[in-house]
Chain A
Amino acid sequence: MLRLSLGLVTVFAFSVIIFSTFSFLPGDFATEILGQSATKSAVKALRAELGLDKPPVTRYFDWLGNVFQGDFGSSFSGRSKVQGDQGDRSREVVGLIVPRLKNTLFLTGVAAMLAIPLSLILGISAALYRNSYYDRSATGVSLVTVSSPEFFTAYIFILLLATLFPVFPTISNVDEASTLAERFYRTALPVFTLTLITMGHMMRMTRSAIINILSSEYIEMAKLSGASRYEVIVKHALPNAWAPISQVIAINLAYMLIGSVVVEYVFNYQGIGRLMVGSVYNRDLPVVQACALIFASTYVILNLIADLIGIISNPRLLYPK
């Protein structure tokens, strides 16, 4: 309960930071859209219409109040009266974000499904055969993948799997009509990229969490009571390793989501990350704020889940004295 309320406070604090940061950005949507030659009065009129003339504190609370009602406001771009456009092109931020969010969640979800089991298996087996050639090469390679920036990894994949051996497409555009198989095929490269950049960290942390536990006395005791290698790892070490492992998975899933900003851009994938970058470029504040808030809440939620797993897997916390 305490954790939950702390999480809410974090999200709230984040909303303040997000809002104020974007308020201080130089220039605003009005000057951006009307161009250099716009008359002062035109800029003023547009600002009034968008509500940009109100003091920041008022704007913040208006925005926050609406967010609580599930209304993230309307996107600045595509407003009905801009430049005398007659058609009603006003776009709700929610309507804009949801399909993009689905795409991003699909991308990161698939990557997570690939990365988590793989890194657990690799981490556990590396711990099991510690200091073997297998362990050394696995930890070595993982260090390289962790250290390379995601765009670099992405370009390497493009070079290998799209240009030299054209197996997968470089552009991952999907739409509502794409079938599931099509989606998998088209998103293969971004999924690989996300998997690779997060797997190293998860694998290494799993390995060290297990190795840490393997040196404890109850592991020696388990060995001396005749437990096999497999039993020692799976029955005795792993249950005590869930807490640190779930923490590192949470961090990496959050990292994956943030990493998707770059990866989506590279592969031109219609996800929330790309939307955010585009909106920042256009000074489209409502959209940027909504995206940032989603990222922040995801981070908090993932950490809450990790804490919860930590509690459930630890009888000390679950069953007090």
Chain B
Amino acid sequence: MTLNKSKELLLEMKNIHIDGFSDERWHKILKGVDLTLHRGEILGLIGESGAGKSTMGKAAMGYTQPGCKIIKGEINFNGIDLAKLTEFEKRKIWGTKISYVAQSAAASFNPAHRLMDQTISAANRLKINPTDVLKKDAVQLYESLQLPDAENIGDRYPHQVSGGQLQRIMTAMAMSPRPELIIFDEPTTALDVTTQVEVLSAMRSIVDKFNTAAIYITHDLAVVAQMADRIKVLRYGEEVEEAETRDMLSNPKEEYTKSLWSVRSLIKPEETNEDYMLSIKNIDAAYGSSKVLHNVSIDIPKGKTVAIVGESGSGKSTTARVITGLLPQLKGEIIFDGKKLSPKLEQRSKEELRRIQIIFQMPDTAMNPRQTVDEIIGRPIEFYQGIKGKEREVKVIELLKMIELDETFLDRLPSELSGGQKQRICIARALAANPDLIICDEVTSALDQIVQEGILKLLQKLQKDLGVTYIFITHDIATVKAISDEIVVMYQGEVVEQGLKSKILNPPYPDYTELLLSSVPEMDPDWLTNLLNKRSS
């Protein structure tokens, strides 16, 4: 992929400063970042949320989001400074010379128009080719992106196709006017790993085919390694380092770059236990008339961590809902610490409720925004243990220390905490009930890599100190490696296999497990190529 790249300069951004307005004041988002891109070259922009990578990507088009403005800097695209153009002049470049592929395809297509009309709208504006020629071309693009029924898929509306297909159609839409540059803004972040592989390979081959230059924005180093010739790391609106992909991976210079894949280095030695905290047996469950769990049986050893993995729609979260009693099962039973649990939440005793706690994926929505940390953590202490007043206060501070925060947080509201701190408070709230089993539903997937590492370490430490049992629901294999003792693989509402980590993660695999594991991007620039070769052979 690095062959035959010309050295002709396409885009040169110099000393870009961008400010954004939020919370009643102006913040610096980008503080003087440079960027160069040659024709046909793919540059990866990586960093955590808030690093300014998306802002940088949009700035490459001369665009800033409402509430942001370019303070300083030059954006030379083909020798024209986009920063100096008027809105009207820039519109002639947007969509036709430079096109954009957004993160959430589902939200980025207009729900009111057919996909074909949206695909060719930008090219249509050029008025070079008549509509029917463009439509034929779009069908060819759909084909080369391996979309099913390429001939007719364009007649559908956005809600009628899947997320992975939408993302490929958006790539076709970006490619339709044959732009010189495409900005990919986290295009696969919202997709399952198995779908991600398909979309990545489709995008890479089409960019290669037309020799289009691209800026690929992501927070996932392994993904960008498959796509980019060069990688630039951003942090707090500044450049950390930039290098050729292979150099960057084999020899990252900065500490920060190394920390970006720190979770992947976290490994927990596995242990198991014949004594089960929880056993669910032959569970069937349904939402309304659509059945989502089929005969699911899982055993959770006491004081250990069981990871439930699978893609979206595999029934992982539904299993959690059944265990907590939020969704009564149709069939089967749940044995908790040797006793049968009633399916319905209302029929469980307070003690049973206390012993099983859950932590959710989105700490933002899991906490009452008008309650202080003290109230959030104090309430379960009072409710389950009947501890009030001074004693309660002491308990809350004790818990805060346990999650590596302190009493200065007592009076804060959730909005005054960072993402990682919020998740810590949610953990403390679960611990406040002094539970035996905590269900962690994708607790780290909304967090940045470094923060993830901190949370996972904390959870491990708590398990060691308190002996709690975890059910860890996730789709991220790196997280699984880092935390679990046993793994349960789920697919379409059924358990594919359950066993010790070493057994599941090593061959021989059942088909689905193999597909799932092989789809997890690795930190090797040749991984995707090798994988595709292997799969096609």
Contact = CB atoms under 8 A, between A and B. Distances in A.
B142 interface: no
Contacts of A221: 100, 102, 108-110
B400 to A, nearest CB: 37
A295 to B, nearest CB: 34
Contacts, number: 73
B57 to A, nearest CB: 11
Contacts of A236: 110, 112
A225 B100 contact: yes
A-side binding surface: helix, strand, loop or mixed? helix
Contact of A217 (B92, B102, B122, B160): B102
Nearest to B117: A235
B112 A217 contact: no
A11 to B, nearest CB: 31
B113 interface: yes
Contacts of A10: none
A163 interface: no
A130 to B, nearest CB: 10
A26 B102 CA distance: 68
A218 interface: yes
Given A225-B94, A225-B99, A218 B107 contact: yes
Nearest to B102: A221
B111 A224 contact: no
Interface stretch (A146-154, A276-284, A299-307, A312-320): A312-320
A225 B95 contact: yes
Contacts of A228: 91
B91 A316 contact: no
B125 A226 contact: yes
Contacts of A77: none
A135 to B, nearest CB: 15
B157 A315 contact: yes
B92 A226 contact: yes
B266 interface: no
B157 A319 contact: yes
Which of A222, A224, A239, A319 lies at the interface centre, i.e. has the most chain B CB atoms within 10 A of its CB?
A224
A86 interface: no
Nearest to A236: B110
Contacts of B61: 224
A178 B518 CA distance: 83
Interface string B70-111: 000000000000000000000111111001101010011111
A39 interface: no
A40 interface: no
B65 interface: yes
Nearest to B126: A226
A21 to B, nearest CB: 41
Contacts of B107: 216-218
Contact of A315 (B95, B112, B173): B112
A23 interface: no
Nearest to A221: B108
Contact of B93 (A226, A235, A319, A321): A226
Contacts of B63: 223-224
A317 to B, nearest CB: 10
Contact of B157 (A224, A226, A316): A316
A226 B96 contact: yes
B121 interface: yes
B294 interface: no
Interface in A201-257: 215-218, 220-228, 235-236, 239-240
Nearest to B65: A220
Contacts of B160: 319, 321
A210 to B, nearest CB: 13
A240 B110 contact: yes
B100 A316 contact: no
Given A218-B107, A239-B112, A225 B157 contact: no
A287 to B, nearest CB: 46
Nearest to A214: B66
Contacts of B156: 319
B212 to A, nearest CB: 16
Contacts of A315: 111-112, 157, 159
A260 B150 CA distance: 56
Interface in B463-485: none
A218 B121 contact: no
Contacts of B95: 224-227
A38 B21 CA distance: 79
B134 to A, nearest CB: 14
A218 B108 contact: yes
A214 B65 CA distance: 12
6 contacts: A218-B107, A221-B108, A225-B122, A226-B94, A227-B121, A319-B157
Given A216-B107, A224-B61, A224-B63, 8 more contacts: A221-B108, A225-B121, A226-B122, A227-B125, A236-B112, A314-B111, A314-B112, A319-B156
Q: Which 10 A-B pairs have the closest CB atoms?
A: A225-B95, A226-B95, A239-B112, A226-B94, A217-B107, A315-B157, A225-B122, A224-B100, A221-B108, A218-B110
Interface of A: 215-218, 220-228, 235-236, 239-240, 313-316, 319, 321
